[in-house]
Amino acid sequence: MGGSLAWEVIGVIDTEGDCAEWSFPAEPGAVRGARTVVRGQLRGWGLDALGDIAALLVSELVTNSLRHATGPIGVRLVRPAGSVATLLVEVSDPLPDPPRERAAGPEEEGGRGLQLVAHSSSRWGTRPADAGKTVWFELPVPG
């Protein structure tokens, strides 16, 4: 890990096998840190083709978490295995309220993150977690 990234990641929970998880502080550097680790992990798994879109969508979800939550933000990737040709990406935070998709006006700078996730992924959703919620999306692996 690079010097500045080490300050932004609370902990690397696991990057072995078919799952990789990280925890970031609810600070602005979390967005850049999350993009960096997602791209790096996907490159390590040979899924470079998904790096840009996964990093973009993770950025949107981590940004949403930063706007509303004060605790740590979790990012988790589950690598496709066997006949499953889908990458699962999850972003968790301690706020229990699910995000709401809204129609942003043409002059608004924000409000399009969930629309981007919905239109760029094959499926997405939210689920309650032990402490907060998880927003997830799936990306098909190009074959």
Quote the pLDDT of residue 5: 39
pLDDT digits (tens, 9 = 90+) for 7-37: 344 555 555 668 999 999 999 899 999 999 9
Residue 103 confidence class, pLDDT cut points 50, 70, 90: low
Three-state DSSP class for residue 26? coil
Rg (CA), the chain: 14
pLDDT average, residue stretch 104-114: 63
Tell me the angle at which helices 29-44 and 51-68 cross, rounded to the nearest 10 degrees.
Answer: 150
pLDDT digits (tens, 9 = 90+) for 34-75: 999 999 999 999 999 999 999 999 999 999 999 888 889 999
Residue 113 confidence class, pLDDT cut points 50, 70, 90: confident
Residue 105 confidence class, pLDDT cut points 50, 70, 90: low
Specify the higher pLDDT residue, 10 or 88. 88
E strand or H helix that includes residue 51: helix 51-68
Q: Which of 136, 123, 141 is nearest to 75 (CA)?
A: 136
The phi-psi region of residue 111 (left if phi > 0; otherwise alpha if psi is between -120 and 50; otherwise beta) is left
Quote the pLDDT of residue 60: 94
pTM over 0.85: no
- Work out the mean pLDDT of the chain and round it to a whole number: 83
